[in-house]
Amino acid sequence: MSDLHHHDPRATVRAAGEFTVIDRATRGRAQPASVLLGPGDDAAIVRIDGGATVACLDMLVEHRHFRTDWSSGHDIGRKAIAQNAADLCAMGAVPVTFLVGLACPPDTPTSFTDALSDGLWAEAARFGAGISGGDLVQGRDITVSVTALGQMEGRDAITRSGARPGDVVALAGATGRSAAGLHLLEHGSAPASAAEEECIAVHRVPCPPYASALAAARAGASSMIDISDGLLSDLGHIARASSVTIDIDLGSWQPCSTVLAVAGAHQVDPWGWALDGGEDHAFAGTFGPRAPLPEGWSRIGTVSEGGPGVLVAGKPAAARGWTSWT
């Protein structure tokens, strides 16, 4: 019998942490032969009728992932699709369709659910995809659960475990804008500049550089990940899965201009947002040392032997990104 059934009944998921809970749920479980890649990456890969289908699921819970006084139903719908589509694209998969589950109180205005649906469809339409099913239930808080299905178009999936010593680490998109936008919203700051408006907008609706992720897959990236929990945290997943050390080179990379502007105006360290802020849904990847980087990608570091771990300018870095149950 697994350790799952031999634990302190007083233990909590907060004390255990998200990844310990996942390990307890999956350790010792046998996957059927049709599961080509199970838990542990941005998405699962399943063989169906001889072809590979890539699948993932994410949830947005009111008061934890969004507030309706900060974000419209349309914003929330787009965000729900974007965070799932980004996971598929991080594997090199093109989204095909989405399934949506919605829990909400009975007094939720239909104007909200209409706007939510419009947002879901608008973001799915960026791939020519749609919403092909789902479920509606009553709940205390609004919860949006999205399952995304994608296809590899004949390519091999890009996983977290492919980074090799000598590879170049690169970034597509910007990190830190969502965290900056959250800071402004939490402090009740009305946007005082275009940079602040941009950061708030990105927090409400992320703008993953989908095309850059798919270009990386076509160019043969050795590993890739969606930056949802923070750059350091997510690079740590690649380092552990690949048994390597990743070193971020601050000399060749700095936070984007909007993050620098907002941080300067509010006397905040921009590196905290850029390295640990989540929900931008940029992409980090690794590429062979002589491979040209695809359009939209910038070098931010290197991969070396040892570890696993993440260094910043050659020094160990403690990730302080998003964690569940904090």
* Phi, psi angles (nearest 5°) of residue 209: -80, 70
| Nearest in space to 323 (alpha carbons), one of 6, 8, 18 | 18
Q: What is the three-class DSSP state of 261?
A: helix
pLDDT given at position 101: 98
What is the reported pLDDT for 3?
46
List of E strands, the chain: 35-37, 44-48, 51-61, 94-104, 130-138, 143-151, 168-172, 223-227, 245-248, 282-287, 297-304, 309-312, 315-316
CA angle (146 as vertex; 221, 279 as ends), nearest 5: 55
Instruction: Report residue 48 as tokens.
Output: 């169906």
Residue 318, classed as helix, strand or coil, is coil
Q: Which helix (DSSP H) or strand (DSSP E) does residue 53 occupy?
A: strand 51-61
Q: DSSP 3-state assignment of 298?
A: strand
Structure-token pair, residue 111: 């104007």
141 bridge partner residues: none
pLDDT below 70 — which residues of the chain? 1-7, 19, 22, 319-326
What DSSP line would sit under 101-132, residue for residue?
EEEE-TT--HHHHHHHHHHHHHHHGGGT-EEE
pLDDT of residue 2: 42
Q: Which residues contact 283 (CB under 8 A, 6 or more apart)?
A: 86, 89, 90, 171, 172, 173, 208, 209, 212, 213, 216, 224, 225, 226, 227
What is the predicted pLDDT for the residue at 6?
A: 52
Strand partners, 94: 151
**Whole-number pLDDT of residue 181:** 97
Query: Which residues lie across from 304 on neighbouring strands?
Result: 245
Q: What is the pLDDT of residue 167?
A: 98
Helix, coil or strand: residue 244 = coil
The answer to whether the peptide bond before residue 95 is cis (omega within 30 degrees of 0) is no
Distance from first CA to last CA of the chain, Å, rounded?
A: 30
**pTM of structure:** 0.90
pLDDT at res. 319: 66
Would the CA dihedral through 212, 100, 175, 322 be positive or negative?
negative
Residue 41's closest CA among 218, 304, 310, 226? 226
